[in-house]
Structure 1
Amino acid sequence: MTILSEAGRGRIAPLGFLFLAIASVGWGLNFPIMKQLLSEVPPLSSRGLAGLVGAAALALIAHHRGQRLTVPKPLWGRLILVSMLNIGGWVAFMGLALVWLKASDAAVLAITIPVWVALLAWPLLGETVSVVRGLALLVALTGICVLLGGGGISVSLEKLPGILFALAGAIGVAFGTVLTKRFPLTLQPIALTAWQVGIGCVPVVIVGLAIEQPHFAALSPRGWASMAYLTFVQFCVCYVCWFAALERLPAATASIGTLLVPVVGVLAAAAMLAEPIGLRELLALAVTLGGVALALRH
């Protein structure tokens, strides 16, 4: 999941909410499916290869919709940088985070992206950090502390690498989002996503194949189904629906709608992976969502 700067315009169309729901539910289901896939293949090579195939499929969709795939020479430098942040870091760090974290914990940490966007917009875009935005950051950090503090010190230390990887991925996406606002990439949305996913996943695949030992031939039918989901639903269906929602809804409305993602992630992890939903998980989810909602409103 990435935060993109395409702004929705015009009046609200009811169909936009359907597209938004499909994208949010699809991205939420992604967390338990990724966690499940890790039992069969390592994170970097599997997620990187899924991204490359997904990028090719997105390019075909963009071409079919008449979107130009050519990139002007002056844009290549910033396109590569933003792709490494928005996609490369997200794909790699979130995959590594799931080695240490439950899928539900990763889903909660992932949705903190708008909070980091609000914070980074201060030094990079000159946007003032209001009292409400500062409060949003504190509230979101409180939710993270609730996640970190569950189970005692030993359990917290075991989860710490996963939390740091997840936050690195979220902050990378936020940094890429702010840079895109500062230096816009004038490409059409699906074509731009195809390039970002493809460019961002290339180094992930290279590193993954170099340091991991994936055995794709040994994947179970469930493993292949998970790979297909990550490739075509996560990268294709969800992004196409996201842009369709942005064409029909205000950007702020669509952004708030993505708060459904961690809710789906937590509930799906409980259903698919039998991850427990206790008071700590519900409190962390509620507190983090509250902080993100404050950040999105201001």
Structure 2
Amino acid sequence: MRESSLSSRQAIVLLGVVVLIWGTTWPVNKAILHYLSPIWSTAIRSCIGTLVLVILCLARGRLVLPQRGDLPVVFSVGLLHMTAYSILGNVGMQHVAAGRSVVLAYTTPMWVAPCARLFLGEAFTLRRAIGTVFGLLGLVLIFNPLAFDWGNHDSVLGNGLILLGAMFWAASILYVRGHRWIGEPFDLLVWQALTASCVLVPCAFLFEGPPQFEWSVPLVGLQVYSATFGIAIAYWAINKVNHSLPAMTTSLGLLGVPVFGIVCSSLALGETLELSLVASMALIIIGIAIGALPEKRAAA
């Protein structure tokens, strides 16, 4: 299927599928931590996802080496997003509920706006400032300094690591924005995933030693789902969507991921759907949406 062959309706449906996939991968990844250590979980998932991407590229006849000018974006996405973000998110999720984790992780667009002004010279308008304030209010509500157990070092560490991971993802987005592309983004995805896998496996051996777990049907099923759908299929689908829908429509549509992630975590893992978490999620999503809407739309 050619990139331009999707109708708007098909692209919107495919975007909905991506939201469902990425929303469900959070409780799935949380469940995997019952069987695997966090870095090995990330490494194995990355290797399976890379293999599936290779198969997809071969099927499309598009397995081509990246050109020299695209190597920086291969390494930036592979190391900052697929490696650092994934490791920090998985390690942090050991001590944080999956629902709270997905909300913290999706604060990424909120960090992009002010950093884009600082590093890329993009305008930091009043609307983006208001959106950032809404997002920060949502973070304050999540932590609630008066009620948060600051004596629980595991909880503090877990929340902090996930937020740090979101900032690494933001750094990756900033570089992608400023990169002058030579090849197609999807053609580079397999090399980004391969870069991440080549770093994650040694990191897992270094920090966690040889993998110590017993293969079981639930573990295999969870890992295959997370890798195949969460990495390979979802990235393939979002690439198709990006070629068929305006970037603003896609970015706003992806705000459904933390919403669906919280619902799935509550249903699948029995996590309590706290009112403060729902309210903070609403504030963060409103803030991101305000900052992402085009000027004319916002004025209307």
TM-score (norm: length of structure 1): 0.90
- Residue 208 of structure 1: how far off its partner (Å): 1.1
Cα distance, 1:155 vs. partner? 6.6
Are 1:58 and 1:190, in contact at CA under 8 Å, matched by a contact in 2? no
How far off is 1:78 after superposition? 4.3
Give deviations 1:191-215, integer Å, cap 9, x for gaps. Answer: 2111112212322221112222533
Cα drift, residue 70 of structure 1: 1.1
1:19 maps onto 2:14 in alignment = yes
Match of 2:227 among 221, 225, 231: 231
Find the partner of 1:260 among 256, 263, 282: 256
On the 8 A contact 1:136/1:290 being kept in 2, the answer is yes
Counterpart check, 1:95 vs 2:90: yes
Distance 1:154 1:125, change over 3 A: closer
Matches within 5 A, 1:208-223: 208-213=204-209, 214-216=211-213, 218-223=214-219
Aligned-pair distance for 1:156? 6.5
The residue identity in structure 2 corresponding to 1:21 is G
Q: CA deviation at 1:77?
A: 3.9
SS of the residue corresponding to residue 126 of structure 1 reads coil
Q: Match for 1:173 among 163, 169, 173?
A: 169
- Counterpart contact for 1:11–1:249, Cα < 8 Å: no
Q: 1:69 is matched with which residue: 50, 59, 64?
A: 64
Instruction: Please report how far the alpha carbon of residue 183 of structure 1 lies from its aligned counterpart in structure 2 after TM superposition.
Output: 1.9
Alignment of 1:129-278 (within 5 A): 129-149=124-144, 151-154=147-150, 158-213=154-209, 214-216=211-213, 218-278=214-274
Report the counterpart of residue 117 of structure 1 in structure 2: 112
Deviation at 1:157, TM superposition (A): 5.0
CA distance in 1, matches of 2:281, 2:237: 25
Aligned-residue offset at 1:287: 1.0
Q: Does 1:53 align with 2:81?
A: no
Q: Distance in 2 between matches of 1:79 and 1:189?
A: 9
Taking a change above 3 Å as real, the CA distance of residues 11 and 60 of structure 1, as seen in their structure-2 partners, is closer
Deviation at 1:81, TM superposition (A): 3.0
Contact kept, 8 Å, 1:10 with 1:250, in 2: the verdict is no
Distance 1:282 1:184, change over 3 A: same
Q: How many residues align?
A: 290
| 2:76 and 2:175 in contact (8 A); partners too | no
1:115·1:137 contact (CA, 8 Å) conserved in 2? Answer: yes
Change (3 A) 1:254 1:156: farther
1:128 aligned partner: 123
Q: Where in structure 2 are there 5+ consecutive unaligned residues? A: 295-300
Give the CA deviation at 1:74. Answer: 3.6
What displacement does 1:12 show?
A: 6.2
Instruction: Give secondary structure in 2 for the equivalent of 1:40.
Output: coil
* Paired residue type of 1:215: Q
Q: Which moved more, 1:107-116 or 1:144-153?
A: 144-153
Q: Which moved more, 1:146-155 or 1:83-92?
A: 146-155
Q: Does the CA contact (< 8 Å) of 2:67 and 2:182 recur in 1?
A: no
- 1:30 shift after superposition: 0.8
Question: Deviating runs (4+, > 6 A) in structure 1?
Answer: 8-12
Cα RMSD (Å) of the superposition? 2.1
Q: Residue 29 of structure 2: which of 14, 30, 34 is its match?
A: 34
Structure 2 CA distance, aligned partners of 1:78 and 1:192? Answer: 9
Measured in 1, the distance between the counterparts of 2:150 and 2:132 equals: 26
Q: Tell me by how many angstroms 1:117 deviates.
A: 1.6
State which drifts further: 33-42 or 178-187. Answer: 178-187
